A and B are shown apart, each in its own frame.
Chain A
Amino acid sequence: MTRPNIQIDDEVREMTEAEYEALLATGWTLEGTDETPTAG
């Protein structure tokens, strides 16, 4: 699966594998989840 892009100022690039793993660890998903706010 293609990793999402990351932007730092004007530079847009594909995430590294390590960055992508860190993003997934936050609970982020590409497809989205229930948008209703829930307690963190």
Chain B
Amino acid sequence: MSVKTFTSEILTSSDTNTYLANSGLVYVTSATIGSAVSSVTVSSAFSATYDAYRVVVVGGTGSVTTGVAVGMAGGPATGYYYGLVYATYASTVVSANVNTNNGANWQFVGGITAGQASSFVFDIYNPFLSLYTTIHNGSYAGGATAGTGNGYLAAATSFTGFVIAPQSGTLTGGTITVYGYRKA
């Protein structure tokens, strides 16, 4: 909808409901992470309603300090490509690193620190369309390093869900929330 310019002091319920329903980022679904899980599958996140999604993971703790991998639910065993650029907190040196090269998922999309509340976000594009799915703005933050990454899955396949998995150890608690970017 076009942006409306209000010219009076009256904000009607109709206008309010319209703008609430047409916010830029729209809640789709969420999942509460269980206890000591090695992976979490959110199976009904993607549909034809949106082409772009933001996934926010917040509040969980890891049993070890590690990266967090992301893949598509029911996705192929290979075909994931992802480049992470990271730096250490203790140095000004930036290290470029291609972490996933035709791998089984995208590695180091997020990071968790043992025993501490952790959070990370990433964007997924075109998962439901029969096109290559791309991932952007991965936000890895580990115990000693941090960086951001982008990549794609070389499979022109439609997916409805995704999987989050610590690369070592397990996750406990926290919430995974999926938002869709409103098209128009």
- The answer on A and B forming one complex is yes
- 8 Å CB contact of B39 from A7, A9, A38: A7
A12-B35 contact given A7-B40, A39-B98, A40-B99, CB 8 Å threshold:
yes
Do A38 and B99 touch (CB < 8 A)? yes
- Contact-size category for B: 35 or more
Residues of the B chain whose Cβ atoms lie less than 8 Å from the Cβ of A15: 38
Asked whether B144 is an interface residue with its Cβ less than 8 Å from the other chain, the reply is yes
Do B168 and A28 touch (CB < 8 A)? yes
Docked complex: A1-37 residues within 8 A CB-CB of B: 4-10, 12, 15, 23, 26-33, 35-37
Residues of the B chain whose Cβ atoms lie less than 8 Å from the Cβ of A35: 65-67, 111, 142-145
Q: Which of B40, B42, B65, B107 has the most CB of A within 10 A?
A: B40
CB pairs A–B below 8 angstroms (22 shown): A4-B170, A5-B36, A6-B37, A6-B38, A7-B34, A7-B37, A9-B44, A10-B31, A15-B38, A28-B165, A30-B169, A31-B168, A31-B169, A32-B66, A33-B168, A35-B145, A36-B145, A37-B67, A37-B99, A39-B101, A40-B100, A40-B107
Query: Which 10 residue pairs of A and B lie closest in terms of their CB atoms, listed nearest first?
Result: A32-B64, A12-B34, A32-B168, A4-B38, A7-B37, A8-B41, A7-B40, A5-B37, A7-B34, A35-B142
